[in-house]
Amino acid sequence: MQLVDRYLQEVKRFLPSAQREDILKELSANILAEMDERESELGRPLTEDEQIAMLQQQGSPLVVASRYREDSRTFTFGRVIIGPAIFPIYAKILTFNLFVTVVVSAIVMTTLGVHVGLSALLWPALLQFTVVTSIFAAIEQSQQKFHVFDRWNPRSLPPVRDRLKISRAGTVFEMFWSIVFVLCWLHIPGANYAVGYLFLGPAVRYLAPANVSPLIYAPAWQVFYLPILILVLLGLAQQGLNFAFPRWTRNRLIIRAALSSLGLTVVLLLFRAGNLLIANPNVPNSAQLGSLAWIINITVHYSLLLAAIITIFSIGKELRLALHIPPTPSPFHSTSQVC
Amino acid sequence: MSSTNPSSSTNVLFEALRLELRRGCLVVAVLAQLKSEQYGYTLRKSLSDDGLIIDESTLYPLLRRLESQGLLLSEWREENKRNKRFYRLSNSGAEVLGQLLDEWRRINSSIDRMVDPRTKDQSTTSNAPVSDRPQHHEILKES
């Protein structure tokens, strides 16, 4: 059954999201019915080789999924350059790459003080289009000539992912950075030095002491000081719970999404607050530090925007996963679930 | 020295034309088999038993498409401790099947007359009303 689950998981990746669950349910029912019948004919369970032969007969996950899509768009230039089986993946990757290319180019140009015009963005976008299209055209050609999609091995399918399992290594990583952040945020003596040492090693001793730091935090930070501290501490508490019980529950996902939403609010407010670092007036020649402060503020500004986009995606992912888990039973009925 | 193998290119062409020919026939066959209710796997088996082998990756999506077009009805039901989606012909599916079968028979008899002269002779000497015959030309024009 493991192989069938791995096969279905791979088909699922390429299915249209609107009908994904329904198609999988039906495909799974048909495959299992076929297995049942063969097993009853043989009077024994199917061997792994027999299961593999049966799955190979079903077709490669990419091809099977493409047949379910009503979208049969192709990229045609005289003849078919990219066929319907891989066109949706091509369209998705091309859109993503073009978006990233245009955004990154615009940021770099703004930072360097270059005028951001359509013609300046056109070349990197065109280069991206050429590279992605050439790669997919080569894949399509190899499929037409050598039927590469048919030469797939069910043994090489990735193992079934348990979406509710929480990686302990990931949690430890999150906890480590949360603790470091809290120590620095609370100005615990030596914390800043320790973090600096982590990145720079012994070279950290050559950095200027905090009282003569050329840049200091803008007053806007005072408003957010406490909310940020509370949010990180709440996050740390949940990370501790995740470490002890490394499995998502519906309630825990909802709490995490709520914390992420509060974090997103803070990020957006900081984004709107303007300059977050200013030149230290106590440092001699602080006026000359203006351009350094400007570059750092621009970087922080766009980093906050990026953080906001990532947080929105992560909230969406958490809520979608939460919707797939049935509500946790009342503790009066069961004590096996945590949180 | 030419690198093109004529028999191989003919085979490729034949395969493409064969698939084209089969595509429409499969719809008729599936609709015809679903006069009685079946689910995906048993339908594939019954088609195969009647000499029409069809891939799973072709049949299962086809069933969903025919259902979305209103030609089939489906229902999830438990059988042998497993939930399965059973399909059957809808009223409009039965009507379309009747029309498709008429069309199929007309095309079939036209082609028979074209490829087998004896059938053609029988046809011209038959007592069938002449008004029935022009339909063959219409079909050929359409195709």
Per residue in A271-302, pLDDT tens? 888 888 887 777 776 667 777 778 888 888 88
Across the interface, whether the CB atoms of B85 and A34 are under 8 A apart is answered no
Least confident segment among A257-261, A288-292, B38-42: A288-292
DSSP sequence for A207-250: SPPGGG-SEEE-THHHHHHHHHHHHHHHHHHHHHHHHHS-B--H
In a domain, B25, yes or no: yes
Task: Find, in chain A, the residue whose alpha carbon is nearest to that of B82.
Answer: A29
Interface touch A68/B64, C-beta < 8 Å: yes
Confidence (pLDDT) at A274: 81
Residue A304 forms contact with B (CB below 8 Å): no
User: Residues of chain B with pLDDT > 90: what percent?
Assistant: 52
Contact A29 B80 (CB under 8 A): no
Which of A180, A206, A176, A208 is CA-nearest to residue A194?
A: A180
Mutate to test the interface with A, among B38, B55, B57 (most CBs of A within 10 A): B57
Q: Is the pLDDT of residue A62 over 70?
A: yes
pLDDT at B102: 96
* Contacts with B39 from chain A: Cβ below 8 Å: 29-30, 33
- Whether residue B132 has pLDDT greater than 50: no
Do A177 and A26 contact (CB within 8 A), yes or no? no
Sequential DSSP letters for A12-38: HHHS-TTTHHHHHHHHHHHHHHHHHHH
Chain-centroid distance of CA A13 in Å reads 15
Q: Domain boundary residue among B70, B89, B108?
A: B89
Distance from CA of A40 to the nearest CA of B (A): 12
| Contact assignment for A29 to B64 by CB distance below 8 Å | no
Give the one of A23, A27, A59 whose C-beta lies nearest to B55's C-beta. Answer: A59
Is A27 in Cβ contact with B42 (below 8 Å)? no
Report the candidate in A105, A99, A96 with the shortest Cα–Cα distance to residue A124.
Answer: A105
Torsional class of A328: left (φ above 0), alpha (ψ -120 to 50), beta (otherwise): beta
The separation between CA A331 and the C-alpha centre of its own chain, rounded to angstroms, equals 34
pTM (whole model) above 0.80: no
- How close is the nearest chain B Cα to the Cα of A90, in Å? 22
CB contact under 8 A, B60 and A26: yes
How many structural domains are present in chain B?
2
Question: Do B82 and A29 make contact, defined as CB atoms within 8 angstroms?
Answer: yes
- Quote the CA–CA distance of A85 and A74 in Å, as a whole number: 9
Q: What is the pLDDT of residue B143?
A: 34
B63 and B107 housed in the same domain: no
- B39 lies in the same domain as B59: yes
Structure tokens at A24: 């999988």
Place of tokens 């047949």: A67
What is the distance between the alpha carbons of residues B133 and A2, in angstroms, rounded to a whole number? 60
Cα gap A72→A95, rounded to integer Å: 18
Residues B55 and B113 in one domain: no
Residues B68 and B101 in one domain: no
* CB–CB contact A68 B56 (8 Å): no
Q: Among A283-292, B25-34, B125-134, which is the least confidently predicted range?
A: B125-134
Lowest mean pLDDT among B9-13, B24-28, B34-38: B9-13
Lowest mean pLDDT among A38-42, A259-263, B8-12, B43-47: B8-12
d(CA A315, CA A307): 12
C-alpha–C-alpha distance, residues A174 and A165, integer Å: 16
Q: Indicate whether B35 belongs to any domain.
A: yes
Residues in B closer than 8 angstroms to A27, CB to CB, are: 60
Q: How far is CA A2 from CA A5, A6, A51, A53, in A?
A: 5, 6, 10, 15
Please indicate whether, in this complex, the C-beta atoms of A30 and B80 are within 8 angstroms of each other.
no
Indicate whether B16 and B43 sit together in one domain. yes
Say yes or no for a CB contact (<8 Å) between B60 and A57. Answer: no
pLDDT tens digits, A147-196: 777 778 888 888 888 888 899 999 999 999 999 888 888 877 776 777 77
Residue A171's contacts (CB-CB under 8 Å, 6 or more residues apart) are A239, A242, A243, A246
In this structure, is residue B71 part of a structural domain? yes
More confident residue, A63 or A202: A63
pLDDT at A214 over 60: yes
Q: Which residues of B touch A16 (CB under 8 A)?
A: none
Sign of CA dihedral B81, B84, B88, B90: positive
As a whole number of angstroms, the distance between CA A261 and CA A313 comes to 11
Average pLDDT, chain A: 84
d(CA A254, CA A263) in angstroms, rounded, equals 14
CA–CA gap between residue B58 and residue B68 (Å, rounded): 16
Statement: residue B1 has pLDDT above 80: no
Share the mean pLDDT of chain B. 81
Nearest Cα to A150, choosing from A81, A89, A85?
A85
Residue A338 CB neighbour total at 10 angstroms: 13
pLDDT at A200: 65
Contacts of A68 in chain B (CB under 8 A): 60-61, 64
Kindly list the distances between the CA atom of residue B19 and the CA atoms of A323, B24, B54, B59, in Å, as whole numbers in the listed order. Answer: 43, 9, 11, 14
Which of B44, B60, B89 delimits the end of a domain? Answer: B89
Q: A135: pLDDT confidence band, cut at 50, 70 and 90? A: very high
Instruction: State how far Cα A152 lies from the chain centre.
Output: 27
The residues facing B83 across adjacent strands are B78
DSSP collapsed to 3 states, chain B: CCCCCHHHHHHHHHHHHHHHHHHHHHHHHHHHHCCCCEEHHHHHHHHHHCCCCCCHHHHHHHHHHHHHCCCEEEEEEEECCEEEEEEEECHHHHHHHHHHHHHHHHHHHHHHHHHCHHHHHHHHHCCCCHHHCHHHHHHHHHC
Please give the average per-residue pLDDT across A133-147, as a whole number: 88
Q: Average pLDDT for residues A234-239, to the nearest whole number?
A: 94
Of the residues B89, B107, B133, which one is the last residue of a structural domain? Answer: B89
Q: Which of A292-296, B12-16, B122-126 has the lowest mean pLDDT?
A: B122-126
Tell me which of A119-128, A292-301, A327-336 is least confident: A327-336
Distance CA B138, CA B143 (A): 9
Gap between the Cα atoms of B92 and B90, Å rounded: 5
Q: Are residues B29 and B45 in the same domain?
A: yes
What are the tens digits of pLDDT across the range B67-104?
999 999 999 998 888 889 999 999 999 999 999 999 99
Q: Which pLDDT value is given to residue B4?
A: 52
Chain A hits for B56, CB-CB cut-off 8 Å, are 30, 57-59, 64
* Chains A–B, number of C-beta pairs less than 8 Å apart: 49
Specify whether B17 is located in the same domain as B68.
yes
pLDDT tens digits for range A17-46: 888 889 999 999 999 988 998 898 899 999
Measured from the Cβ of residue B20, the count of other Cβ atoms closer than 10 Å reads 9
CATH number for B26: 1.10.10.10
User: Considering the domain boundaries, does residue B1 fall inside one?
Assistant: no
Task: Return the higher-pLDDT residue of A195 and A6.
Answer: A6
Q: Each residue of A138-159: b (16+ CB within 10 Å) or e?
A: ebbeebeeeeebeebebeebee
Question: How many residues in chain B?
Answer: 143
Q: How confident is the model at residue B60 (pLDDT cuts 50, 70, 90)?
A: very high
The whole-number pLDDT of residue B134 equals 42
Which residue's entry shows tokens 């990026």? A306
**Residue that has been written with the tokens 């615009």 in this structure:** A106
Q: Do B40 and A68 touch (CB under 8 A)?
A: no
Give the structural domain span for B141. 91-143
Residues present in chain A in total: 339
Residue of B nearest to A64 (CA): B57
B3 part of a folded domain: no
The span from the CA of A46 to the CA of A36, in Å, is 9
3-state secondary structure of A72: coil
Q: How distant, in Å, are the alpha carbons of A2, A3, A32, A261, B60 from that of A39?
A: 16, 16, 10, 51, 22
Interface of B with A (CB under 8 A): 39-42, 55-58, 60-61, 64-65, 80, 82-85
Q: Would you state the pLDDT for residue A211?
A: 60
Q: Model confidence at A335, in pLDDT bands (50, 70, 90)?
A: very low
**pLDDT recorded at residue A24:** 92
Instruction: Delimit the domains of chain A by residue range.
Output: 2-68, 75-156, 168-323
Residues within 8 A of B (CB atoms), A 50-109 only? 57-59, 63-64, 67-68, 70
| Contact at CB, B65 and A58, closer than 8 angstroms | no
